Amino acid sequence: MLAVLPEPATARAVPLWLDPDLNREAKSRPGGSWRADFPSPANDDVEQSLSLDEHLIRNPEATFLMRVTGEALADAGLHDGDLLVMDRATTPLAGSVALVLVEGVAVLTRLSRDAQGRLRVQAVGTDLSQPLDEATMVGVARWVIHRLWPGRFSS
């Protein structure tokens, strides 16, 4: 018995889950979301608008942005060109990435605790550290905005 096989489908330039025609509803709304995984028939969780201020800033009057220079804190997930959302009102904890003034020099560092439980400023890549109470706390990093495409930042 012979069976007739259907003709093969034409190749698509866009994966099915990123097909703009399938996401027309999300695309037509401001702040519409695009799924990064496979599609779901339910689209109830699409926000009507998206504000980075609402998502990233807890204390607007105490928040500032700064750019990371260098790869010294790559083990903390911070890379050259990343943008940090810093908060002056956040209490620093061990493991926090903080901007501190040490002898008048601004240093972005990860905080640690000594044997007595005091917070310490650790110089990256060395055993040198000093108690946080001998430095001036400027702010604690709350979020990092990391560039995904290749190349250096332009601003």
For the chain, the domains span 13-39+49-56, 62-145
Residue 8 or residue 59, greater confidence: 59
Confidence of residue 84 (pLDDT cuts 50, 70, 90): very high
Tokens of 116: 């007595």
CB atoms within 10 A of CB 102: 15
pLDDT at 128: 59
Quick one: what percent of the chain has pLDDT higher than 70? Answer: 61
| Rounded distance between C-alpha atoms, residue 24 and residue 16, angstroms | 13
Confidence of residue 127 (pLDDT cuts 50, 70, 90): low
Q: What is the mean pLDDT of residues 101-128?
A: 80
pLDDT at 47: 55
* Displacement of CA 125 from its chain's centroid (Å): 23
Q: What is the mean pLDDT of residues 125-143?
A: 79
Tokens of 79: 């890379």
All residues at 6 or more sequence positions from 13 whose CB lies less than 8 Å from its CB, including other chains: none
pLDDT at 126: 56
Q: Tell me: pLDDT of 43 over 80.
A: no
CATH architecture observed for domain 62-145: Ribbon (2.10)
Please name every residue paired with 146 in a beta bridge, in sequence order, or none if there are none.
none
Q: What is the mean pLDDT of residues 91-118?
A: 88
Q: What is the mean pLDDT of residues 90-107?
A: 89
Q: What is the mean pLDDT of residues 138-150?
A: 89
Inter-CA distances, 99 with 19, 35, 76, 79, 140, Å: 43, 35, 14, 15, 6
Our CA angle for 83, 148, 79, nearest 5°, is 45
Please report, to the nearest 10 degrees, the dihedral formed by the alpha carbons of residues 50, 33, 45, 82 taken in order. -60
pLDDT at 32: 57
| Rounded distance between C-alpha atoms, residue 21 and residue 19, angstroms | 5
CB atoms within 10 A of CB 130: 15
Q: Tell me: pLDDT of 20 over 60.
A: no
pTM: 0.62
pLDDT at 14: 43
Residue 68's identity, in one-letter code, is V
- Residue length of the chain: 155
| Rounded distance between C-alpha atoms, residue 30 and residue 139, angstroms | 33
